[in-house]
Amino acid sequence: MIDYKTLSNKYGTPLYLYDFNHINDQYNALKSAFRARKSLICYAVKANSNLSVIKHLGDMGAGCDCVSIGEVRRALLAGVSNYKIILSGVGKRDNEILEALEKDILMINLESEAELERVEIQAKSLDKKARISVRVNPNIDPKTHPYISTGLHENKFGVDLDTAKRMYIKAKNSDFLDPVGIHFHIGSQLTELSPIKESSEVVADLVRSLKAIKIDIKFFDIGGGLGIDYEGERLIKPYDYAQAIFETLGTLDMTIMCEPGRFLVGNSGEFITKVLYEKVNEDKRFVIVDGAMNDLIRPSLYNAFHRIELLDREENISKADVVGPVCESGDFFAKDINLPQSYHDDLVVIKSAGAYCFTMSSNYNTRGRVAEVALEDGEDRLIRARESFDDMIKNEKDYLI
Ligand code: LLP
């Protein structure tokens, strides 16, 4: 049982709590599902890039899927080996490509022909051979929220099959490129297996046709996207996921890579916020809390659902909107949910807040980013200090004239 009261007195609110034991369970469930083959789980750092979270996963054996050189630096700082780090992303700057090559990471994932040329130029300047993979866009509907769906040709991600093939041939013929991997990622919060399996089939067929022309790919990267339980969704079981991939690969002997973010950390996290007061306008009841959209933007941005619990209250239940203090009507955590009557300083727990919550937070309304705390084996420890006012203005104050 988490003692929310003690923790919120100790660290203040709003606050993120992460259960590191839950992260272990998720990692182990996925790793063991793939145990019949060589596999590498590269944690999608964007989901939660706290250094201690990365280190925790790295210590268990995970690599990292990064989408900026900043994330690569975080992974290295957290002790993840360079040979387990990959760099993806639809638009990489030259300096990011150069640094990734200097740091000798496992591979750079290419998302366009133009990018292949930039990577070749940078590799040549270092007189190195860049290990690359190509992100294939299989044009398959992942059946998830349109904002987090990425595997259709209408999305900006990856390249079509013909382009991919051309890129592999170019890479094979280049002195500065080494095509070692292939990649697809069709979307996030996926709850249906069939689009993943179909995509894997398409990409495995491409691998076979490349093999026929002597281009031998070693890493089969199936991206991330496994959904989690926010509101009772039916989930893809890791075992079924792995079996589906094994089936599509058949006798192809490749290291399977995956890039889960949300699956590993999403349900490890909770956001703790305090009731400031209640307010009733005409028929509408608002519970105003000290956390806001700048701390956790998923409800405002995607209309995403997060379970909400008001601690230690049961009486006078009625419909309420749970809202923050930011000056936007979109600043809400939930609308029209049943909630007991609340009082000043009551604690509210917002569930499933381990992925894409802190990492998408901002200083909007000059609100400091909140503290993050790890819970492990019954102990709690601070893993990110609350941002102070001085932290927020430090890059501006010297320019005040
Ligand atoms: N690999 C690639 C290439 C990705 O683009 C992503 C996520 C992942 C892996 C990890 O996906 P996951 O396993 O976490 O589903 N902010 C949104 C989610 C954006 C996902 C972006 N890409 C949200 O709050 O739902």
CA of 225 to the centre of ligand 1 (A): 6
Residue 149's pLDDT is 64
Last residue within a domain, chosen from 221, 241, 260:
260
CATH at residue 338: 2.40.37.10
Is 225 inside any structural domain? yes
Shared domain for 247 and 271, answered yes or no, is: no
Q: Ligand 1: which atom is nearest the Cα of residue 225?
A: 15
Q: Are residues 92 and 189 in the same domain?
A: yes
- Structure-token pair, residue 95: 């300096």
171 and 306 assigned to the same domain: no
Q: What is the residue with the minimal CA distance to atom 22 of ligand 1? A: 188
Ligand 1 pocket: which residues have CB below 6 Å? 44, 47, 65, 88, 148, 185, 188-189, 223-226, 259-263, 298, 355-356
Atom of ligand 1 nearest to the CA of 145: 25
pLDDT score at 311:
98
Rounded to the nearest whole angstrom, what is the distance from the C-alpha of residue 44 to the centroid of ligand 1? 7
Residues 168 and 314 in one domain: no
Active site residues: 327
Answer whether residue 113 is part of any domain: yes
Question: Are 239 and 140 part of one and the same domain?
Answer: yes
Which of 211, 229, 260 lies at the terminal end of a domain, its last residue?
260
For a mutational test of ligand 1's pocket, the pick from 26, 133, 143, 259, i.e. the residue with the most ligand atoms closer than 8 A to its C-beta, is: 259
DSSP-assigned beta bridge partners for residue 274: 347
Question: Do residues 255 and 276 both lie within one domain?
Answer: no
Q: Verify that 278 and 249 share a domain, yes or no.
A: no
**CA angle, corner 83, sides to 23 and 27, nearest 5?**
15
- Closest approach atom of ligand 1 to CA 189: 15
Question: Whose Cα sits closest to atom 8 in ligand 1?
Answer: 224
Q: How far is the CA of 42 from the centre of ligand 1 (A)?
A: 13
pLDDT at site 153? 64
DSSP 84: G
d(CA 86, CA 123): 16
In a domain, 93, yes or no: yes
Assess whether 240 and 273 both reside in one domain. no
Q: Which two tokens stand for residue 259?
A: 């890039």
CB 215 within 8 A of CB 179: yes
In this prediction, residue 151 carries a pLDDT of: 62
d(C-alpha 368, C-alpha 390), whole Å? 10
Find the 188 Cα to ligand 1 centroid distance in Å: 5
Residue 172 and residue 123: Cα distance in Å, rounded? 14
Last residue of a domain, one of 226, 260, 294: 260
Give the residue, by CA position, lying nearest to ligand 1 atom 16. 356
Q: pLDDT in tens for each of the 401 residues of the chain?
A: 899 999 999 999 999 999 999 999 999 999 999 999 999 999 999 999 999 999 999 999 999 999 999 999 999 999 999 999 999 998 999 999 999 999 999 999 999 999 999 999 999 999 999 999 999 999 888 776 666 666 666 677 889 999 999 999 999 999 999 999 999 999 999 999 999 999 999 999 999 999 999 999 999 999 999 999 999 999 999 999 999 999 999 999 999 999 999 999 999 999 999 999 999 998 899 999 999 999 999 999 999 999 999 999 999 999 999 999 999 999 999 999 999 999 999 999 999 999 999 999 999 999 999 999 999 999 999 999 999 999 999 999 999 99
In whole angstroms, give the CA distance from residue 108 to residue 110: 6
Peptide bond into 238 cis (omega under 30): no
Could you give the C-alpha distances from 61 to 26, 56, 201, 361, in angstroms and in order? 13, 9, 28, 28
Same domain, 252 and 336: no
- The DSSP-derived string for 240-284 is HHHHHHHHHHTT---EEEE--SHHHHGGGEEEEEEEEEEEEETTE
* Residue 307 lies inside a defined structural domain of this protein: yes
pLDDT given for residue 150 in this prediction: 66
How many domains in the chain?
2
Kindly state whether residue 101 falls inside one of the protein's structural domains: yes
Tell me the best of 40, 46, 135 to mutate to test the pocket of ligand 1, counting ligand atoms within 8 Å of each CB and taking the most.
Answer: 46
Per the domain annotation, does 213 fall within a domain? yes
Q: Is 227 a domain residue? A: yes
Residues 192 and 232 in one domain: yes
CATH number at residue 233: 3.20.20.10
Q: How far is the CA of 208 from the centre of ligand 1 (A)?
A: 28
Same domain, 172 and 283: no
Q: Tell me the C-alpha distance between 314 and 38, whole Å.
A: 51
The reported pLDDT for the residue numbered 283 is: 84
Task: Please give the distance, rounded to the nearest whole angstrom, from the Cα atom of residue 325 to the centre of ligand 1.
Answer: 28
Phi first, then psi, for residue 308 (nearest 5°) are -130, 135
| Residue range(s) defining the domain that contains residue 192 | 34-260
303 and 248 inside one domain: no
pLDDT at 79: 98
Considering Cα of 58, then 179, then 254, then 257, what sign does the dihedral take? positive
* pLDDT of res. 385: 98
The answer to whether 85 and 54 have CB atoms below 8 angstroms apart is: no
The two three-digit tokens of residue 261, written as one number: 């973010």
In a domain, residue 205? The reply is yes
